[in-house]
Structure formats: C-alpha cells, structure tokens
Amino acid sequence: MKFTEEHEWLRIEGDVVVVGITEHATSQLGDIVFVELPDVGTTVTKDEEIVVIESVKAASDIMAPIDGEIVEVNTPLTDNPALANEDAIGAGWFFKIKPSDPSQMDDLMDEAAYNALIS
C-alpha cells in the first residue's frame, strides 16, 4: 500500500488502484455521515477535489492522489457512510482509478513513512 500526506491509502489491484482514507483520518474526522463520490468515467488530475465527506466534526474534500479515470465507486458507502469509520482500509474504500501515469505511485509514502508522519 501507498499513502498520501492527506491521509489517503492506495492499494494496487491489477491495473487499477483502490483509494480510501486511513484509520487515522477517520479518527480525526469522527463519525462520517455523508459521502459524495465521483461519477464512473470521470477523468481526474492529481490534487483535484473528487470526493466530499461530511462528519459530525467537519466537512472535508478528498483529492485525487494520481491522474487517471474513475472506473468504479463504492456505492454502498453513499447509503452507509459509517463504513469508512468501521473498515477504513477494507469495505470503506471510496473509488477505483485506472492510472494514466502509474509512475506517480512512486512519489507516495510507504507504510513506514506514513506512520512516521502521523506519530
């Protein structure tokens, strides 16, 4: 897995990358009550706002961690936003993206670097 400074995690599954937010992010946000996901087929650019999250504490935007096309979204998350709190790196994923430049993943943190960031 790879991580961003914005507390997103990325997991490569074949030719797509699954993206969600870390347990650290969900603990900082508190109970997530609303998630607005991007449309499948949307082409995004790194650092573009693509997901809106609202929690009991704050509203937050998730940025695209890499360039690519959204190929799948986690629709159960829109009906049950608490999935992100309950299983942040499992059932609480946000979207799958087909990278247009897979080398962008090389610029992201590994787990050790991310753990150092949040400690």
Residue pLDDT, tens place only, 22-64 = 999 999 999 999 999 999 999 999 999 999 999 998 899 999 9
Kindly report, residue by residue over 66-118, the tens digit of the pLDDT. Answer: 999 999 999 999 999 999 999 999 999 999 999 999 999 999 999 999 999 99
What single-letter amino acid sits at 37? L
- State how far the Cα of 57 lies from the Cα of 34, in Å rounded to an integer: 12
- Coil, helix or strand at residue 91: coil
2-118 — its CATH code? 2.40.50.100
Q: What's the pLDDT at 75?
A: 96
Smallest CA-to-CA distance from 64 within 23, 26, 8, 111 is with: 8
Q: What's the pLDDT at 62?
A: 92
Structure letter (DSSP) for residue 104: G
